[in-house]
Amino acid sequence: MTAEGLVSAYADAAERDAEASVRPKRLAEFIAQDRVRDQLDLLLQGAMRRGSPPDHILLSGPPGLGKTSLANIVAAELGSGIRVTSGPAIERSGDLAAILTSLAEGDVLFIDEIHRIAKPAEELLYSAMEDFRVDVVVGKGPGATAIPLDVEPFTLVGATTRSGLLTGPMRDRFGFVAHLDFYSPTDLEALLHRSARILGVPITDDGATEIAGRSRGTPRIANRLLRRVRDYAEVRADGVVNRETAQAALKVYDVDALGLDRLDRAVLTALVDLFRGGPVGVSTLAVAVGEQPDTVEEVCEPFLVRAGLLARTPRGRVATEAAWRHLGRNPPDGTFGAGSPPAPDLFSAGPDQP
């Protein structure tokens, strides 16, 4: 199990194939993100009518919202090939030059986590994006020579979960920048029905509603929870994913009614029971739950803040009244957020980070 209480990153081939099978292949199949879909459709249709590659595309947003799927859809809509790599994998400018010079005309180059690309490679990418040319330096010192190499016209699709870490020159070279928002429960229900049809899983409306409500507004999590509930339904029930089966299955996998997993609840419980609701520093909180501070800050906190269960203050992390209520405790007088309304709609459109 991962920190999200879902499947391991080291899932077997069948698990990866199942995840790939439910990904939309065309823009018309992509559920939700209506504004981004409409903008992309205009961009691609215009480019195809002109007979030229579309402008470079930057997709930003939290993990699991469909950035990789959209990159593959761009290539499919254009009828082009796609080359996939990631920012951390490009350590030297020569690595990027080899990729760029191997592209055919009109190909799509998808770079995931593009904000983590090495600086020398990023600078090489500037000229490739603007002029379709790269300068490869041969030799060292005074005898070094720059050899210009032409690159076939291509479209770069960059994906990032941390758009603020992109440099200004890099961001400015993208002709289209799109931000993907969390999905609403209604959109997730539609996505789950589609995925269930593809996987051959009988699912009822109330079963889809139950899973959607625990999926953190994220399609990737919704699809993974669907597969776990399917396993439970086939082994311990009648094979149909309904509300009762979903509730029982997700209890086994430690996913509660709000979508909190074991680590999320451990953080809230430590904050409430050990530190009386805070404020407490993230390092101290991480020690209390036996995790690294980065894990608590990057994996747990964004969702807990978005769910209205935790607040970041100058003095440290504080449990809100909703957190106390969710854990079944009565908040003491003076607790942060006392008298505040219930937790807000978790997945309304908004920024990806609190």
**Residue-wise pLDDT tens digits, 186-214:** 999 999 999 999 999 999 999 999 999 99
Known binding positions for Mg(2+): 68
Q: What is the pLDDT of residue 12?
A: 53
Low-confidence ranges of the chain (pLDDT < 70): 1-20, 137-146, 333-354
Binding residues for DNA: 312, 317
- Which residues sit in the known binding site? 23, 64, 67-69, 130-132, 173, 183, 220, 312, 317
- For the domain spanning 185-252, the CATH number is 1.10.8.60
Residue 139: per-residue pLDDT: 56
Query: What pLDDT score was predicted for residue 137?
Result: 67
Bridge-based pairing of strands 133-138 and 176-179 is unpaired
Residues forming CATH 1.10.8.60 domain(s) in the chain: 185-252
Q: Are 238 and 253 in contact (CB under 8 A)?
A: no
Q: Beta-carbon neighbour count of residue 206 at 10 Å?
A: 14
* Rounded CA separation 38/19 (Å): 25
Q: Name 200's Cβ contacts closer than 8 Å, sequence gap at least 6.
A: none
The residues carrying an active-site annotation are: 67-68, 112, 161, 220
- How high is the mean pLDDT of the chain? 85
DSSP structural state of residue 29: G
Query: For position 302, what pLDDT does the model report?
Result: 86
Q: What is the pLDDT of residue 11?
A: 47
Domain 260-354 has CATH 2.60.40.10: no
- Structure-block tokens of residue 154: 């291509």
Q: What is the pLDDT of residue 142?
A: 67
**Could you read off the pLDDT of 136-185 as tens digits, one per residue?**
766 565 656 667 788 899 999 999 998 888 999 999 999 999 999 999 99
- Confidence (pLDDT) at 94: 83
Q: Could you tell me which of 181, 208, 182, 184 has the C-alpha nearest to residue 194?
A: 208
| Six-digit token string for 208 | 């889809």
Contacts of 136 (CB under 8 A, 6+ apart): 93, 94, 97, 146, 147, 149
For domain 34-179, the CATH superfamily is P-loop containing nucleotide triphosphate hydrolases (3.40.50.300)
Specify the pLDDT at position 21: 76
